[in-house]
C-alpha cells in the first residue's frame, strides 16, 4: 500500500500542490512563532540578575512572551485548521473518479480509506517539515514587530527546538487529516458507479445528517452562550472596567467564531439573495448560478477572508472605541501570521477549482457566449465571494460593537463615527482584488487548450 500511496502522490502532484502550499505556509507560521517564543524566553532569562529592575523586567517579559506567543499560535491554529480542512476536503473530492477505479479493481473500502488518510498524513508531514525549515525567515521578519510592541527584548534571536517539529506536525497534519476525514469516509462507503460518475456518491443516512446538524447547532449554541455571558458581564461591571473590556473582547472573538461555524448555511443564503438582484446581462446570472451550484466550494473560499475581516473589525473597532490601543504594527505582530495563513488558503481554494471553471468557460463559449461575457462572469464570481465575506464581516462588526461600545462607555450616537471604516474598506478592497484576480488567473491558465479538450478534461 505504501508504494501505491507514494506513486499516486507523485503521479498526481499537481492536484496536491495547493494543499501542500497551504500546509507549508501554515507550518512556517506555526514553527516561526515557536522559534520566536523560545528566543523571547531566552532574552528574558538573560535579563535576570542584572539588577532588581532587570529581574522584574525578566518576569514581565517572560509572561508577555508566553501570553503573546500562545495567543498568536492559537490564532494561527484557527486559521490553519480552517483552510487546511477546506483544501484537504476539496482535493479528495477532485479524485473521486480515481477512487472509483480503485474500488472497481477490487480495493476494499477500509483499505481505500486508509490510503486516502495516509496521503493526507504525508502531505501534512511534508508541510510540517518544510514549515520548520521556512520558520526561521518568518521569525526574523516578525521579531522586530514584537520588539516594537514591547513584548520581546531588543536583541531577541529565534531559537529552534526539536520538539517544535512535533508540535508543528500535530497542528498541520492533524488539521489536514481532520479536513479529509469526512471525504475519505464517504469515498470508502460510496459505490463504484457513483465514484466513477464523479458525483458525491454515498449519501449519509437521515440519522447521520441529523447528527451532523445537531453537532453544528451545539457548537453554535455554545458560542452564542459565550457571547451572551460576555454581554451580561459587560452590563454588570459597567463602562471603563478592565473586566468588562476583557469580556467584550472575548465575546467579539466568540462572535467571529460563531459566524464562521454558521457560514455553511449563511453563504448559500447570501448567494441566493444576490441572484435576485436586478443586474442586467447574462454574466451575473451565470456567476450566481455557478456560485450556488458550488456552494460548498464558495463557503470554503469565503471563510479565510471572513476571518481576516473579522479580526480587522474587532481589533481596530475596539481601539477606536477606547478598548486597547492597537496600531498597524501591533495588529500585524499578533495576527499577521494568521492572516497570511488564511489568505493563502483563500487563494488555494480558488485555484483548486480552476479545472471546473475552465470547463464552464468552454461550455459557455460553445453555447455562443463571447470572450468578454465569459470573463465578466468569472470576475463577477470573484465579486460574489468578496461580497459574501464583507457582508458576514459586517455582521461580526455589528455584534462586536454591541459588546465593545458599552464596555468603553461610547455613546450609541458616536458609534458610527468610531467604526474602522478605512480599515474595513482597505481589507474589503484587498479581498475583492484577490478573489477576482485569482478566479480570472486560474481560469486563464489553461486558455491554450481547445474547447473540446477542456470539456473532456478532469479537475
| Tens-digit pLDDT string for the chain (459 aa) | 677 777 877 877 777 888 888 889 889 988 988 898 888 888 877 765 444 444 555 566 666 667 777 777 777 777 777 787 777 777 887 788 888 888 888 888 888 888 888 888 888 888 899 989 999 999 998 888 888 777 777 888 888 898 988 989 888 888 888 878 877 887 888 887 777 776 554 455 567 677 778 888 999 999 999 999 999 999 888 877 888 888 898 899 899 999 988 998 899 899 888 888 888 877 888 888 877 777 667 787 888 889 889 888 988 888 888 776 667 777 777 778 888 888 888 888 888 877 777 777 777 777 777 878 888 888 888 899 899 999 999 999 999 999 999 988 888 888 888 888 998 999 999 999 998 888 888 777 655 555 555 545 554
* pLDDT of 334: 75
Which residues are within 8 A (CB) of 147 and not within 5 positions of it... i.e. 6 or more apart?
153, 154, 156
Helix 282-293 to helix 242-275 angle (10° resolution) is 120
* pLDDT of 224: 94
Residue closest to 79 by CA, chosen among 23, 118, 36: 23
3-class state of residue 287 by DSSP: helix
Please, how many CA atoms are within 13 Å of residue 138, restricted to the half-sphere of its CB?
Answer: 28
Dihedral (Cα; 290, 293, 295, 298), 10-degree rounding = -20
Rounded distance between C-alpha atoms, residue 143 and residue 336, angstroms: 12
* pLDDT of 411: 86
Question: Please, are residues 256 and 304 in contact by the beta-carbon 8 Å criterion?
Answer: no
Would you state the cell numbers that stand for residue 284, as one nine-digit string? 451575473
Give the helix ranges, DSSP H, for 95-161: 96-104, 109-148
The pTM assigned to this predicted structure is 0.79
Report domain extents, the chain. Answer: 1-203, 210-459
Neighbours of 140 (CB within 10 A): 14
Amino acid at each position: 500500500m505504501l508504494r501505491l500511496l507514494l506513486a499516486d502522490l507523485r503521479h498526481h502532484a499537481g492536484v496536491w500542490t495547493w494543499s501542500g502550499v497551504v500546509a507549508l505556509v501554515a507550518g512556517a507560521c506555526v514553527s516561526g512563532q515557536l522559534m520566536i517564543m523560545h528566543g523571547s524566553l531566552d532574552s528574558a532569562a538573560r535579563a535576570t540578575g542584572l539588577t532588581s529592575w532587570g529581574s522584574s523586567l525578566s518576569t514581565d517579559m517572560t509572561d508577555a512572551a508566553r501570553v503573546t506567543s500562545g495567543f498568536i499560535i492559537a490564532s494561527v491554529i484557527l486559521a490553519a485548521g480552517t483552510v487546511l480542512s477546506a483544501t484537504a476536503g476539496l482535493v479528495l473530492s477532485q479524485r473521486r473518479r480515481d477512487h472509483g477505479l480503485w474500488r472497481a479493481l477490487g480495493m476494499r473500502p477500509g483499505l481505500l480509506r486508509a490510503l486516502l488518510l495516509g496521503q493526507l498524513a504525508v502531505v501534512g508531514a511534508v508541510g510540517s517539515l518544510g514549515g520548520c525549515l521556512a520558520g526561521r525567515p518568518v521569525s526574523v521578519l516578525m521579531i522586530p514587530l514584537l520588539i516594537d510592541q514591547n513584548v520581546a527584548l531588543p536583541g531577541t534571536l529565534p531559537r529552534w527546538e526539536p520538539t517544535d517539529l512535533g508540535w508543528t506536525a500535530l497542528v498541520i497534519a492533524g488539521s489536514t487529516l481532520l479536513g479529509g476525514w469526512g471525504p475519505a469516509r464517504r469515498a470508502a462507503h460510496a459505490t463504484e458507479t457513483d465514484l466513477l460518475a464523479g458525483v458525491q456518491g454515498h449519501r449519509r443516512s437521515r440519522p447521520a445528517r441529523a447528527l451532523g446538524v445537531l453537532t453544528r447547532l451545539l457548537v453554535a449554541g455554545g458560542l452564542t452562550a459565550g457571547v451572551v455571558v460576555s454581554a451580561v458581564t459587560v452590563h454588570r461591571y459597567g463602562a471603563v472596567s478592565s473586566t468588562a473590556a476583557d469580556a467584550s473582547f472575548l465575546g467579539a472573538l466568540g462572535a467571529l467564531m460563531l459566524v464562521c461555524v454558521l457560514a455553511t448555511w449563511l453563504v448559500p443564503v447570501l448567494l441566493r439573495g444576490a441572484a435576485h438582484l436586478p443586474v442586467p446581462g447574462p454574466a451575473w446570472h451565470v456567476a450566481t448560478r455557478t456560485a450556488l451550484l458550488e456552494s460548498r466550494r464558495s463557503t470554503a473560499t469565503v471563510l479565510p477572508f471572513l476571518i481576516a475581516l473579522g479580526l480587522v473589525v474587532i481589533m481596530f473597532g475596539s481601539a477606536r472605541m477606547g478598548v486597547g490601543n492597537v496600531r498597524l504594527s501591533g495588529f500585524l505582530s499578533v495576527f499577521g501570521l494568521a492572516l497570511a495563513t488564511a489568505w493563502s488558503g483563500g487563494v488555494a481554494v480558488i485555484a483548486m477549482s480552476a479545472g471546473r471553471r475552465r470547463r464552464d468557460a468552454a461550455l459557455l463559449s460553445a453555447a455562443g457566449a463571447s470572450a468578454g461575457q465569459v470573463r465578466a462572469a468569472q470576475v463577477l464570481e470573484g465579486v460574489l465571494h468578496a461580497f459574501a465575506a464583507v457582508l458576514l464581516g459586517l455582521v461580526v462588526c455589528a455584534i462586536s460593537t454591541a459588546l465593545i461600545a458599552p464596555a468603553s462607555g461610547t455613546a450609541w450616537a458616536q458609534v458610527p463615527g468610531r467604526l474602522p471604516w478605512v480599515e474595513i474598506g482597505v481589507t474589503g478592497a484587498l479581498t475583492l482584488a484577490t478573489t477576482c484576480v485569482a478566479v480570472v488567473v486560474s481560469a486563464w491558465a489553461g486558455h491554450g487548450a481547445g474547447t473540446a479538450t477542456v470539456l473532456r478534461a478532469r479537475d
